[in-house]
Amino acid sequence: MTPIPADLLYIDTHEWVQVLEDGTAHIGITDHAQALLGDLVFIELPAIGEHMKAGQECGVLESVKAASDLYSPVAGVVIALNDGLIDAPERLNSDPYAAWLLQIQLDDSHALDSLMDADAYAALLANE
Amino acid sequence: MGLKTALFAEHQRLGARMVDFAGWLMPLHYGSQIQEHQRVRQDAGMFDVSHMQAVDVAGAQAVDFLRYILANDVTKLNHGKALYTCMLNANGGVIDDLIVYHQPAGFRLVLNADCIDKDFAWLQQQAQAFQVELSRQDLTILAVQGHHARAKTLPLLPKAIQAQAADLDYFFSTAVTEGWCVARTGYTGEDGFEVMLPNTQASAFFQALLKAGVAPCGLGARDSLRLEAGMNLYGLDMDEQHSPLVSGLAWTVAFKPDNRNFMGRGALEQQKQQLEQKFVGVLLTERGVLRHGQNLLQGNEIVGEITSGGFSPTLNHSIGLARVLNEIDACEVDIRGKRYPIKIVKIPFVRNGQSCLSL
């Protein structure tokens, strides 16, 4: 099992958030999420410019096993997509903490308040 | 629940993700289903399928009994030949699909794990009218599949069975020898063996195959391989409500000779006169994955449904099996409320490592 990076924030639907220097954030899925899904084969992402509420469905991840919704852990506007993943969704399996899916311009500084740090996320996984 | 095969410890040692399947704890994959799939297409892989159940049928009326309860005709069998068949209820619905192996002392049936309790009860009930003995066999069943599977397996078999196994033609099995039975059958569209052996020898055989470079593969890859090979899965593609005639399995029903009275025959004879559906292969050329139960549409009409679907690593597209109205040659699939065009194609999709489609 890949260690849970200490510099990211987490939500109980198994997405991670990385706050970048300019205050925007990358969103991805955790190692636990990719392990549950199995090999990813297709991904469907929202359009650039779309506004997301926290907890809103913002895409679909199709694995060999099932289709699974992607949830936005934060409120904000989609400003970029990691297009490279569309043709190489297997990178979500091999390197889940590097393979960001969306970049989001956060609505406000409180957008991160409800997220977990790595220790809290590790504790959540231990209880599952 | 939580039954374990004789190879459970081997799966755990290899870090398999285990799932419950028909009450058995079975490996889903050992890391990557797609890599396992490709190992079988390109080289050799092995599957623990010991959750499937072998039932031996012996006795003076074994042939008569099997000619009555099976839709295919076991009199086609001689000298170790195997036969794929459905076992039907009186309405022509499929109780299970199975392979019958001809043995010097009788026949061996290999049945689905999910169906074994109802199957065995049905067999016992029907057997009352015949002089037959049924006996369930507690065996390890290991399917070794792929272009190199036979070459890698043969030297690892017990000496007493090696020569017989080396000489097997496609869809034949050896006689049970020192508790081992080797069949040149499978569920992947590749050449290979299905080996039935005593549980006590399972771990040593599995480890020897690993050492010979045979990749351990889980139920995930088994499903995507059989789908590419265009082979049906019981419970999805056919069941007690869907006969072989609407499930792409008419070729397994032996209507000849006319005077063989087999279970379900009357119902099938009637159905044959008015078949409204056909069973086809389907291909999605856009992104997305076909799954069991998705509707097929033409305009606002539902014209069929996906019976099994998934991602094809060989074709890099999603494929499926589907039951549609006879007249349909193009339609759309509904995936979570969105519609995508699908192509109706010939089954199988992949054989012996090669695509059968021109995309």
**Is any Cβ of chain A less than 8 angstroms from the Cβ of B293?**
no
Q: Does the beta-carbon distance from A62 to B220 stay under 8 Å?
A: no
Task: Give the three-class secondary structure for A57.
Answer: strand
B32 and B178 housed in the same domain: yes
CA B347, CA B229: separation in Å to the nearest integer? 8
B156 and B41 housed in the same domain: yes
Confidence of residue B1 (pLDDT cuts 50, 70, 90): low
Q: How many domains does chain B have?
A: 2
B160 and B286 housed in the same domain: no
Contacts with A28 (C-beta within 8 Å, 6 or more apart), sequence order? A15, A16, A18, A92, A96, A97, A99, A100, A101
**Is any Cβ of chain B less than 8 angstroms from the Cβ of A36?**
no
Task: Give the three-class secondary structure for B15.
Answer: coil
- For residue B330, tell me if it sits in a domain: yes
CATH code at position B302: 2.40.30.110
Residue ending a domain, among B165, B198, B228, is B228
B25 and B149 housed in the same domain: yes
Closest-approach residue (CA) in chain A for B292: A66
Q: Does the beta-carbon distance from A64 to B310 stay under 8 Å?
A: yes
Q: Does the beta-carbon distance from A64 to B291 stay under 8 Å?
A: no
B213 and B154 housed in the same domain: yes
- For residue B132, tell me if it sits in a domain: no
**Is any Cβ of chain A less than 8 angstroms from the Cβ of B291?**
yes
**What is the distance in angstroms between the Cα of A63 and the nearest Cα belonging to chain B?**
8
**Residue among A35, A62, A93 whose CB faces B288 most closely:** A62
Q: Cβ(B145)–Cβ(B65) under 8 Å?
A: no
**Residue among A38, A44, A67 whose CB faces B33 most closely:** A38
B256 alpha-carbon distance from chain centroid: 24
Q: How far is CA B89 from CA B93, B100, B143, B216, B323, in A?
A: 5, 18, 29, 37, 21
- For residue B133, tell me if it sits in a domain: no
The average pLDDT across B213-218 equals 98
Q: Cβ(B248)–Cβ(B234) under 8 Å?
A: no
The average pLDDT across B165-174 equals 97
pLDDT score recorded for residue A1: 64
CA B284, CA B282: separation in Å to the nearest integer? 7
**What is the distance in angstroms between the Cα of B190 and the nearest Cα belonging to chain A?**
21
What count of CB pairs under 8 Å joins A to B? 36
CATH code at position B201: 3.30.1360.120
What share of chain B in percent tops pLDDT 70? 99
**Residue among A35, A42, A66 whose CB faces B288 most closely:** A42
Residue B78 has pLDDT above 90, yes or no: no
The side-by-side arrangement of strands in the sheet containing B53-58 is B82-88, B94-103, B106-111, B53-58, B133-137
CATH code of domain A9-108: 2.40.50.100
Residue B358 has pLDDT above 80, yes or no: no
Nearest Cα neighbor of A67 from A89, A82, A83, A48 is A89
Query: DSSP readout, B90-126?
Result: TTS-EEEEEEEEEETTEEEEEE-GGGHHHHHHHHHHH
Rg for chain B, CA atoms, rounded: 20
CA B344, CA B31: separation in Å to the nearest integer? 33
Q: Does the beta-carbon distance from B288 to A93 stay under 8 Å?
A: no
**What is the distance in angstroms between the Cα of A91 and the nearest Cα belonging to chain B?**
12
The side-by-side arrangement of strands in the sheet containing A15-19 is A9-10, A15-19, A25-29, A102-106, A76-81, A51-52
At A85-104, the pLDDT tens digits run 999 999 999 999 999 999 99
Query: DSSP readout, A78-128?
Result: EEEE-THHHH-TTHHHH-TTT---EEEEESSGGGGTT-B-HHHHHHHHHH-
Q: Cβ(B141)–Cβ(B54) under 8 Å?
A: yes
**Is any Cβ of chain A less than 8 angstroms from the Cβ of B224?**
yes
Mean residue pLDDT of chain A comes to 94
Structural domain boundaries enclosing B322: 276-355
Q: Cβ(B349)–Cβ(B314) under 8 Å?
A: yes
Joined together, the tokens standing for residue B300 give 């606002």
Joined together, the tokens standing for residue B302 give 């539902």
B222 and B295 housed in the same domain: no
For B313, counting Cβ atoms within 10 Å of its Cβ (0-12 exposed, 13-18 middle, 19+ buried), the class is buried
**What is the distance in angstroms between the Cα of A10 and the nearest Cα belonging to chain B?**
24
CA A85, CA A96: separation in Å to the nearest integer? 11
Rg for chain A, CA atoms, rounded: 13
Closest-approach residue (CA) in chain A for B36: A39
- For residue B95, tell me if it sits in a domain: no
What ipTM was estimated for this complex?
Answer: 0.87
At B229-277, the pLDDT tens digits run 999 999 999 999 999 999 999 999 999 999 999 999 999 999 999 999 9
**What's the residue count for chain A?**
128
Q: What is the dihedral of CA B7, B11, B13, B16, to 10 degrees?
A: -170
Residue ending a domain, among B191, B207, B228, is B228
Measured between beta carbons, the chain A residues lying within 8 angstroms of B289 are: 41-42, 62, 67
At B98-122, the pLDDT tens digits run 999 999 999 999 999 999 999 999 9
At A6-32, the pLDDT tens digits run 999 999 999 999 999 999 999 999 999
Residue B359 has pLDDT above 80, yes or no: no
Q: Does the beta-carbon distance from B288 to A39 stay under 8 Å?
A: no
The average pLDDT across B280-297 equals 96
Q: Does the beta-carbon distance from B34 to A60 stay under 8 Å?
A: no
- For residue B185, tell me if it sits in a domain: yes
**Residue among B224, B287, B336 whose CB faces A64 most closely:** B224
B45 and B143 housed in the same domain: yes
Q: Does the beta-carbon distance from B287 to A42 stay under 8 Å?
A: yes
Task: Quickly tell me which residue has 């969103």 as its tokens.
Answer: A27
Measured between beta carbons, the chain A residues lying within 8 angstroms of B34 are: 39, 41, 64, 90
At B82-100, the pLDDT tens digits run 999 999 999 999 999 999 9
**Residue among B32, B287, B318 whose CB faces A39 most closely:** B32
What share of chain B in percent tops pLDDT 90? 96
At residue B267, φ and ψ (nearest 5 deg) are -65, -40
- For residue B187, tell me if it sits in a domain: yes
Residue ending a domain, among B212, B228, B244, is B228
The average pLDDT across B129-148 equals 98
Measured between beta carbons, the chain A residues lying within 8 angstroms of B318 are: 41
Residue B53 has pLDDT above 80, yes or no: yes
Query: DSSP readout, B174-229?
Result: PPPBTTBEEES--SSSS-EEEEEE-GGGHHHHHHHHHHTTPEE--HHHHHHHHHHT
Measured between beta carbons, the chain A residues lying within 8 angstroms of B287 are: 42, 44
B154 and B290 housed in the same domain: no
Residue B191 has pLDDT above 80, yes or no: yes
**What is the distance in angstroms between the Cα of B250 and the nearest Cα belonging to chain A?**
30
Q: Does the beta-carbon distance from B289 to A39 stay under 8 Å?
A: no
